[in-house]
Amino acid sequence: MKIILISIFLILSSFSAYGNTLSVATSPTSVSHSVSSNSVINLLWGVVGSPGIHTSTVGTFRASPGNKGASLGSTINTVITLNTALPNCTKITDSVFNCISSPELITIPVDVLTFAETNGLTTIYYNRTFSDGFAATGELQINLNFSASPPGTLPPVPGISPINPERTLSITRETLRFNDNSTVKFIKSDTHITAVAELKFTGTGLLDAFWEYATPSSTTGRAIFIRMNSVRRYLGAGGRVILQSPSLPTDITGQYLVRLQILKTASNPNGVEFTNKLPDGLPTLRYTVGQKGTSGAVYSLPPIKTQFPLNNAFLKADTRFNWQSIKNAKAYQLELYLPEKFKRPNINPSTNINAKPINDAVIENKKPSTGLLIPATKTSLALSALSREALKRGQTYYWRIIAIDADGQVLTTSALKEIRTP
């Protein structure tokens, strides 16, 4: 089978195309496909380009031609490589070759067929992008015939269970965390962070969602959220999915909020409403941007006095952290750090306190092992079982309390103390 690629030779002969893929075509250019049989599609790829190696790493099913539309589901992750030095390539000019691939055998994934049936798509496109410095994309038009298949019944694909589109997508659990797995962040300005959402779900459908955040200018009252990028992904057969946000803003001091909103779609008529079925409602992460204290930092207020636990005490389930209240504080943050190489300070055995204070430099540029953001109305706290599980057994940690004002600035901190895990 041959592919005839029409080129304007006068242009090509005068154009230096070294390092470029100029055009991509398929043979055949379109096929009719019976969903009831879901037979294999035999496809050839033709590439016109400069001398070199032209590569495509993935084949994608889309609702429209080109590579800008959303993917309909599973992809074909077979790598296709065309080397102009091999016999399957023909020289057109000194700088342009025409290459034809070996046959690619395609079986349309069942989740792609289900999405097409659910959304009334009778034509889909399978495309690939080839690149040798400059990329070009080609696609096969696939005309689907559902008439031989009763609605909601699709042929099985080896290794993939059939999906029933009557089962509406339902999110059963959503949890949020930051990219370092923490759930609380106090950071310097211009620090790179992202949020991660883990969704557990049943049924099938298109997840249409977007990330959004609120800046410090509104988080002290009624938060006003700003939309970020959209997320469109087909979810099938139940399970879980992990989604990561773009880089979050950290240029203004103060407290930010970030969350994942879910929209209504044709295959998910419940939209946002089903997130309200979650036990804790729509999860929201909070992070604070400010000037983090360093050794020798000067604050406008004296250090926070902590009463308990005593220095070098063991951490237990009923251990409570107590500290004095600070005027104008809008929140406190408890932080626990695990030093890379712990050096035992000089302990006074009669009082169980350090003879010399621990210098803040031992935790400079280190991330807390765990931490909690606490409302300013509270000056006492016991770590939850989840927070304690984040700590390693048989270790000595440093801990401290930070007082934060309404603008996210650090008012003052407590001195570092030790606490041991059993």
pLDDT (tens digit, 9 = 90+) per residue, 122-160? 899 999 999 887 888 999 999 988 764 444 444 443 433
Residue 160 DSSP code: B
As given in the structure block, the two tokens for residue 339 are 């030093």
On the CB side of 415, how many CA atoms lie within 13 Å of its CA? 17
Its sign, for the CA torsion 27, 28, 30, 31, is: negative
On the CB side of 363, how many CA atoms lie within 13 Å of its CA? 21
Mean confidence (pLDDT) of the chain: 75
Q: For 355-374, write each residue's pLDDT tens digit.
A: 455 666 566 656 777 778 88
User: What is each CA distance from 111 to 17, 74, 120, 244, 391, in whole angstroms?
Assistant: 39, 7, 14, 22, 41
Q: For 16-74, write each residue's pLDDT tens digit.
A: 334 577 889 998 999 998 876 667 898 999 999 889 899 999 999 988 887 776 788 88
The domain defined by 170-289 folds into: Immunoglobulin-like (2.60.40)
pTM above 0.75, yes or no: no
> For tokens 């059963």, what's the residue?
172
Q: Coil, strand or helix: which one is 348?
A: strand
Helix (H) or strand (E) holding 118: helix 110-118
Query: How many C-beta atoms lie closer than 10 Å to residue 359's C-beta?
Result: 13
Q: Are strands 80-83 and 53-56 parallel, antiparallel or unpaired?
A: antiparallel
What is residue 352's predicted lDDT score, i.e. its pLDDT? 41
Helix (H) or strand (E) holding 114: helix 110-118
Its sign, for the CA torsion 33, 59, 267, 120, is: negative
What is residue 230's predicted lDDT score, i.e. its pLDDT? 82
Helices in 268-414 by DSSP H: which ranges?
385-389
Burial of 131 (0-12, 13-18, 19+ CB in 10 A): middle
On the CB side of 231, how many CA atoms lie within 13 Å of its CA? 22
User: What is each CA distance from 340 to 251, 395, 422, in whole angstroms?
Assistant: 30, 11, 19
The domain defined by 306-420 folds into: Immunoglobulin-like (2.60.40)
Q: Coil, strand or helix: which one is 258?
A: strand
Calculate Rg over the CA atoms of the chain.
30
Residues in the chain: 422
Which residues, at least 6 apart from 284, have a Cβ–Cβ distance to it below 8 Å?
176, 257, 258, 259
As given in the structure block, the two tokens for residue 24 are 């991509």
What is residue 11's predicted lDDT score, i.e. its pLDDT? 36
Tell me the C-alpha distance between 97 and 52, whole Å: 9
As given in the structure block, the two tokens for residue 93 are 């000019």
On the CB side of 272, how many CA atoms lie within 13 Å of its CA? 7
As given in the structure block, the two tokens for residue 263 are 């929209």
Domain with CATH 2.60.40.10 in the chain: 9-145, 170-289, 306-420
The domain defined by 9-145 folds into: Immunoglobulin-like (2.60.40)
Give the residue-averaged pLDDT of 92-117.
86
